[in-house]
A and B are shown apart, each in its own frame.
Chain A
């Protein structure tokens, strides 16, 4: 079978010593980033992207390093949820519900290792899903012309806010801010400078890495400065881990839960805009409906730990499907990974599978390897990772800030870029206070140029007729989904979000 031989080639690429070393490093750093309260997968990858570049790595090794960080952070997110009842990031919120009660019963070690196994099952199955689904989606994507691509990008923006944002106007605002940033610089079609105000530094446009690191990493530093003695300071708390291996009976009881949640999470990941938060939420809710006959969910039921962990890791894998095959990321972190690909001069989309099979299959093989490594790392080394939680943020955050500066300065060697990054950091802080999502901004800066090029190509081909944008059944279908995807969360999003918050709050109060 063709797919299997491609995968074998991928393994040949991923199994070199350098790539294995990078995968170990990425998994380790990623787990730490994920474990620290406040730093999630997007921040983790954002801080490390510039470093991967300045280290002069080629495309595949950088991708392997950064996807290992991504998967590692998805695994690590559960550690602070279970031990401290503080989710490392949004997808880890649901893990608090049963993970923390388990820890209070003295079963922290078992909860951690069980969630490690569940993460493994979710991510492993999702990687197989990626292998089978992505090439199918590629075939479909080959039917796309410029008009369909333009509609697809519109769809991505319309659904991105989706259920994870309560305010569609703010999502739209953020997306337009990103697209507006992308427009700055010399117009690629005509060579006319746009919105540069004569500033030479702006002729090349704004580097999206500068924007990403500023918005995600530096704004985090400002948040910590704001709450200097905030609750995130875990110092002084005694963390008991206890027995580290889950019993067979527990694993057996959780197996059906893990399988169902993986499937559901994967689907949530593939859908544009839904991502890992929804993956963990619907997996938990479904399990609660299906198997919680005695009302033990929320009081430390192991199945309540297995479900969201399998769900959110499967969603992380699922989100890679539209990212690789269509060039449209399904979640925040895949948006950051898209930035990685674009900076490596690799354009995701249907042609990626034909033109750079080594990149795609090397990446997929690396996902498998990262998964096995994370499983192997997470069970015996949980004690080490929990110790990371004892490092107070007052020492850690300056390191994060300095590493961000080093990374950006290493790429460009220009103080101007550092100033722009600080500006983005401040803007990121204000926007986060105002509940404006940051991911659409990033996605806008990333996809803006491609989106505009597709619009101009489509209209030029049809001699200036704008109706061409809705000229095929496929384009009409995409626009319809985009409109529904934008309007529907106005009704459903509020309900889902409110329930998610309520569940999380009731868990935090205990």
Chain B
């Protein structure tokens, strides 16, 4: 069933891709092939492959239970927040928090996770910023 849904999604993607391609405005400078042909070839093969997946699906994969799915979703949210706040609060703080969260969710105790998070953040800061000279996001406190 998973593959059938995936194939249907692929088919919609192919149709959308073809539609979006047809919206491309042709330039008067165009060559013999033009900017639309290649994307249309892609959309066609994408659609055919999706149909093949719908017609001959593999055995279902084992999807995680709802709790695990929520776990992954929460990690994604934390990562998105990390990306948003990185330029605001600086590398060290943002990374310590995000790394501590991930360590905690992977099964470490809360206090130990905090310690691992801080160590990861400071460790990366020392190696990549102080030793290798990489510029990391600077927070309001200058680190």
Contact B64 A399 (CB under 8 A): no
**Shortest Cβ distance from B117 into chain A, in angstroms?**
7
Measured between C-beta atoms, what is the minimum distance from B143 to chain A in Å?
14
A224 interface residue, CB < 8 Å from B? Answer: yes
- List, sorted by A's number, 11 A–B pairs whose CB atoms are closer than 8 Å: A54-B128, A166-B58, A183-B39, A395-B103, A406-B136, A410-B128, A425-B79, A434-B6, A434-B58, A434-B61, A464-B32
List B1-50 residues whose CB lies under 8 Å from chain A: 2-3, 6, 10, 17, 20-21, 24-27, 29-35, 37-39, 42-43, 45-46, 48-50
Counting chain A residues whose Cβ lies within 8 A of the other chain, the interface size class is 35 or more
With A180-B42, A190-B29, A398-B106 in contact, do A422 and B35 touch (Cβ < 8 Å)? no
Tell yes or no: A192 within 8 A of B by CB: yes
- Chain A residues contacting B3 (CB-CB under 8 Å) are 434
Identify which of residues 419-478 in chain A touch chain B, using a CB-to-CB cut-off of 8 Å. Answer: 419, 422, 425-426, 429, 433-435, 451-452, 455-456, 459-460, 463-464
The answer to whether A139 has its CB under 8 Å from any CB of chain B is no
A193, A397, A402 interface centre (most CB from chain B within 10 Å): A402
Q: How far is the CB of B133 from chain A (nearest CB, A)?
A: 8
Any chain B CB within 8 A of the CB of A509?
no
- Answer whether residue A134 sits at the interface, using C-beta atoms and an 8 A cutoff: no
Cβ-defined contact, B27 with A452, below 8 A: no
Question: Which residue of B20, B35, B61, B87 is within 8 Å of A192 (Cβ)?
Answer: B35
Closest to B50 in A: A173
Expressed in whole angstroms, the minimum distance between the Cβ of A296 and any Cβ of chain B is: 35
Residue B72 at the chain A interface, CB threshold 8 Å:
yes
* Contact present for A179 and B84 (CB under 8 Å): no
Q: Is A295 an interface residue (CB 8 A)?
A: no
B52 and A169 within 8 A (CB): yes
* B102→A398 contact, CB < 8 A: yes
Known: A402-B121, A410-B136. A415 touches B106 (CB 8 A): no
B32 touches A222 (CB 8 A): no
- Cβ of B117: which chain A residues have Cβ within 8 Å of it? 398
Contact between chains at B128 and A51 (CB < 8 Å): yes
A422 touches B27 (CB 8 A): no
Compute how far the CA of A177 lies from the CA of B2 in the bound complex, rounded to whole angstroms: 19
The verdict on A401 contacting B83 (CB below 8 Å), with A225-B71, A434-B3, A459-B33 known, is no
- A194 to B: closest C-beta gap in Å: 5
Given the contacts A187-B35, A452-B38, A180 and B121 also touching, CB distance less than 8 Å: no
B80 to A: closest C-beta gap in Å: 6
Q: A residues within 8 A CB of B132?
A: 55
For A419, list chain B residues within 8 Å (CB): 80, 83
B contacts with A, residue count (CB < 8 A): 69
Give the chain A neighbours of B91 by CB distance below 8 A. Answer: 406
Could you tell me if A422 and B83 are in contact, using CB atoms closer than 8 angstroms?
Answer: yes
Asked if B89 is an interface residue, CB under 8 A from chain A, the answer is no
In the assembled complex, the CB of B125 is this many whole angstroms from the nearest CB of chain A, namely 9
Interface check A99, CB cutoff 8 A: no
Contact at B124–A394, with CB atoms within 8 Å? no
A400-426 interface (Cβ within 8 A of B): 401-403, 405-406, 409-410, 413, 415, 418-419, 422, 425-426
Cα separation A426 to B74 with both chains bound (whole Å)? 12
> In whole angstroms, how far apart are the Cα atoms of A54 and B86 in the complex?
18
Give Cα distance in the complex from A422 to B58, angstroms.
27
Pick the contact of A195: B39, B80, B135 (CB < 8 A). Answer: B39
B137 interfacial by beta-carbon distance below 8 Å: yes
B residues in contact with A434, CB < 8 Å: 2-3, 6, 58, 61
> How far, in whole Å, are A425 and B72 apart by their CA atoms in the complex?
11
**Min CB distance, B29 to chain A, in Å?**
5
Whether B106 and A224, one on each chain, are in contact in the complex, defined by CB atoms closer than 8 angstroms, is yes
Task: Contact check, A176 vs B49: say whether CB atoms are below 8 A apart.
Answer: yes
Residue contact A394 to B64, C-beta cutoff 8 Å: no
| Bound form: Cα–Cα A177–B14 in Å | 10
Q: Contact flags (1/0) for A96-115 with B, using CB distance below 8 Å? A: 00000000000000000000
Nearest 10 pairs of A and B residues by beta carbon? A394-B106, A418-B83, A169-B52, A398-B102, A464-B32, A190-B27, A173-B49, A176-B46, A172-B49, A456-B33
Question: A348 interface residue, CB < 8 Å from B?
Answer: no
Instruction: Enumerate chain A residues within 8 angstroms of B46, measured Cβ to Cβ.
Output: 173, 176-177, 180
Partner of A402, one of B26, B76, B99, B135: B99
What residues of A have a CB within 8 angstroms of the CB of B58 in the complex? 166-167, 434-435
B31–A422 CB distance below 8 A: no
Contacts of A399 in B (CB 8 A): 99, 120, 124
Task: Chain B residues near A218: list those with CB within 8 A.
Answer: 79
Contacts of B76 in A (CB 8 A): 422, 425-426
Q: A190-B29, A225-B71, A456-B31 are in contact. Are A172 and B45 (CB under 8 A)?
A: yes
Instruction: Specify which of A180, A189, A221 is in contact with B39 (CB 8 Å cutoff).
Output: A180
Alpha-carbon distance between A184 and B128 when the two chains are bound, in angstroms: 32
Min CB distance, A372 to chain B, in Å? Answer: 26
User: Smallest CB–CB gap between B126 and chain A, Å?
Assistant: 12
CB closest chain-A residue, reference B10: A173
Residue of B with least CB distance to A397: B106
Asked if A243 is an interface residue, CB under 8 A from chain B, the answer is: no
Asked if B42 contacts A456 (CB within 8 A), the reply is: no
CA distance A406 to B68 in the complex (A): 27
Q: Are B53 and A194 in contact (CB under 8 A)?
A: no
